[in-house]
Amino acid sequence: MSGTEEIVTAAILVIGDEILSGRTKDKNIGYIADHCTQIGIQVREVRVVADLEQEIVDAVNALRARYTYVFTTGGIGPTHDDITADCIAKAFGVGIDHHPYVKQLLLESFARRGVEATAARLRMARIPDTAELVENRLSVAPGFQLGNVIVMAGIPNVMHAMLDAVTPRLRTGRKMLSVTIELLRPEGEIAEVFGEVQAEYPDVPMGSYPFNRDARVFGTQLVLRSTDPDQLAAAEARLRARLAEKGIAT
C-alpha cells in the first residue's frame, strides 16, 4: 500500500475469557475506536475471542488479510493463560524466543525492584521473530507489531501507553468527519425525511440514534459522516432544510 492511500482500515481483536464470561467489562474497544477515528483510521470490525490458540490464530489471520491494521488487546502477561505472543507467531508462521533487548529491560527492572528473574517473569520477553517492539512506559514489558498486527496489553492504562507509542508509526488516511443533529423527537417522526435525504446523498452515511435522558423524554441524534467536508456540509444543510419544511426545528 502506498503513502497516498486515502482509506486506512482496522479491526480490533480482544483476547480473553474474562470478557466473554462477563467478569471483566471491556473498556478497550471504545477507546481504540475513538483514537482511530481521531487519527484517520476507520475501524470496520471487532471480535472478542477466548484464550484458545486456534480461535486466536484463526481470528488474527482472518482480520489481518482484510484490514490495514489489526489491534489486539490482552494475553501478553507472565501467566500460562497469556498465549497471545505465541499465537501471533503461529499465525504468521515465524519463530518466537526471548528478545535480547526485552530480556535486558526486564532483568534491569527486576533488579531495581528486588524481585527474582523467574522463567515465568521472563515469558514476557518472548517476542515473535522480526516483530518491532511497542514501548510500555508504564510497566516495562513491551507490546509489539508484526506485519500489520499490533499487540497490546489488556490492562487499559498499559494499553493506552502502547497505543500512544505505536501511533507515530501508523499510516493514517482521510479523517472521518461527522455532524450530529439532536432532536427532541422520536425516530419515527423523522424517519421518512431522513431516508429521503440519505437517498440524495448516498456517499454520506447517515445514522439515527434514539436516546432517553429520563423516563419521559425520547429524542434522536442524527449523525452524518463523510471524509469530504464539502459533501458533509451540503448534506447537513439539506437535512436541516427538509426538517424545517416539516416543522421540525433543529
Of the pair 93, 114, the CB lying nearest a copy of itself is at 114
Contact between 46 and a copy of itself per CB under 8 A? yes
Contact between 67 and a copy of itself per CB under 8 A? no
Q: Which of 81, 182, 203, 228 binds a copy of itself (CB under 8 A)?
A: 81
Cα-flanking dihedrals φ and ψ of residue 86, to 5°? -65, -40
Contact between 86 and a copy of itself per CB under 8 A? no
Least CB distance from residue 130 to a copy of itself, whole Å?
26
Q: Which of 7, 111, 120, 244 binds a copy of itself (CB under 8 A)?
A: 120
Q: Which of 5, 34, 108, 228 binds a copy of itself (CB under 8 A)?
A: 34
Interface size with a copy of itself, residues (CB under 8 A) = 69
Contact between 89 and a copy of itself per CB under 8 A? no
C-alpha span between 15 and 27 (Å, rounded): 13
Local structure of 165: helix, strand or coil: helix
Q: Which amino acid is at 222?
A: L
C-alpha span between 5 and 67 (Å, rounded): 13
C-alpha span between 156 and 26 (Å, rounded): 9
Q: Whose grid coordinates read 497471545?
A: 84
Helices of type H across 81-228? 84-92, 100-113, 119-122, 156-166, 187-200
**Cβ(81)–Cβ(47) under 8 Å?**
no
The residues of the shown chain that bind a copy of itself, judged by CB under 8 A, are: 14, 16-26, 29-37, 42-51, 55, 77-82, 115, 118-121, 123, 155, 157, 176, 178, 186-192, 194-195, 198-199, 205-212, 223, 225
